[in-house]
A = this chain, B = another copy of it.
Amino acid sequence: MEMRINCGMNMTDKVSTTEKIVTAAMLVIGDEILSGRTQDTNSSYIARWLGELGIRLSEIRVVPDVQAEIVAALNSLRARYDYVFTSGGIGPTHDDITADAVAAAFAVPIGPHPQAMAILDAHYKPGEFTEARQRMARIPDGAELIDNPVSKAPGFHIGNVFVLAGVPMILQAMLESLRHRVTGGAKMLSTSVGGAVAEGHVAGALGELQVQFPDVSLGSYPYFRRAEPGSDKVSSYGVNFVLRSTDAVRLALARDSVRAMIRAQGVEPEDRD
């Protein structure tokens, strides 16, 4: 269920009905994610980081280390969303092709960036700024660098695209340094209530609440616990209800209604926040 901006008449509401919804996409570049060897945690980190800034992550794509795939995905996403964040493929080895792919997507030349060369030259011991490492200073024309306080090799920012490292520790540090370059809109607030109810018992009431609160997104997420590891048998189950809105007052009202809906099943609701 897509969230809609609050149209209520509550005068304490600080969110304007005309405030822009700012969107973003995440493009994860990496064979290691597609093989299942590495679990992508960067997307969920960026999702929460963007949420704090009032930017809504609206799509995630994971593509392999193949230039044509990166170019096609990037051009599709950057045309559609306010911001695009990429992760991965900016190191010194042969499989690090992201900078070239981004240059190709923007149809701009790529070459050694003087400031990036200087940062890396100063970082390495004499003779250690190898040809391979100089690859990390190749930046598309017109891009601005993104600081990397961990291992120095910078990310970069061109148009509405932010190119970040794949190593989570570096990606997270880069995000902090680019915070002032993005502008958010209405901030999505969220809250969660759970209970040992069956989805099928509350679905009707929940659907009615969604009609009553068109300005609050009501998500319903059942959970099951296995009786034993690997077993198909369930020992316990329940539902987490996640409520999201840009309007704190409406969110609190909707949560009270969800709590009452759970109590009507003879179950005590549990706050999950």
Given A1-B31, A221-B32, A203 and B167 touching (CB < 8 A)? no
Interface of A is mostly: mixed
Docked-complex contact B31 and A217, CB < 8 angstroms? yes
Q: Is the CB of B58 within 8 A of A60?
A: no
Docked Cα-Cα span, A224 to B192, in Å, equals 34
Residues of B within 8 A of A169 (CB): 224, 226, 234
| A174 CB to nearest B CB, Å | 11
A223 to B165 alpha-carbon distance, docked (Å)? 11
Residues of chain A in range 6-52 having any CB-CB distance to chain B below 8 Å: 28, 31-41, 43-48, 51
- CB pair B36–A57 under 8 Å, yes or no, is yes
Taking A1-B94, A62-B60 as contacts, is the C-beta distance between A221 and B38 under 8 angstroms?
yes
Query: Which residues of chain B are near A38, meaning CB under 8 Å?
Result: 44, 221
CB atoms of A203 and B60 under 8 A apart: no
In contact, B31 and A36 (Cβ under 8 angstroms): no
Please measure, in the bound complex, the distance between the C-alpha atom of A69 and the C-alpha atom of B43, giving whole angstroms. Answer: 19
Give the CA-CA distance A246 to B253 in the complex, in Å.
57
With both chains docked as a complex, state the minimum distance between the C-beta of A224 and any C-beta of chain B, in angstroms.
Answer: 5
B35–A222 contact, CB under 8 A?
no
Verify A167–B35 contact, CB threshold 8 A.
Answer: no
User: What is the minimal beta-carbon distance from A203 to any residue of chain B, in angstroms?
Assistant: 3
Q: Is A245 located at the chain interface by the 8 A CB criterion?
A: no
A95 near B: Cβ within 8 Å?
A: yes
The reply to whether B93 and A220 form a contact with Cβ atoms under 8 Å apart is yes
Pair A200/B132 contact, Cβ less than 8 Å:
yes
A144 within 8 A of B: no
Judging by beta carbons under 8 Å apart, are B31 and A220 in contact? no
**Bound: A151/B224 CA distance, A:** 9
Known contacts A36-B46, A150-B232, then 6 further A-B pairs from the complex at CB < 8 Å, ordered by chain A residue: A1-B31, A32-B221, A33-B44, A34-B56, A36-B44, A130-B200
Q: Give the B-binding residues of A (Cβ under 8 A).
A: 1-2, 28, 31-41, 43-48, 51, 56-66, 69, 91-96, 124, 128, 130-133, 135-136, 149-151, 166-167, 169-170, 173, 188, 190, 192, 199-204, 206-207, 210, 217-224, 226, 232, 234, 237, 242, 244
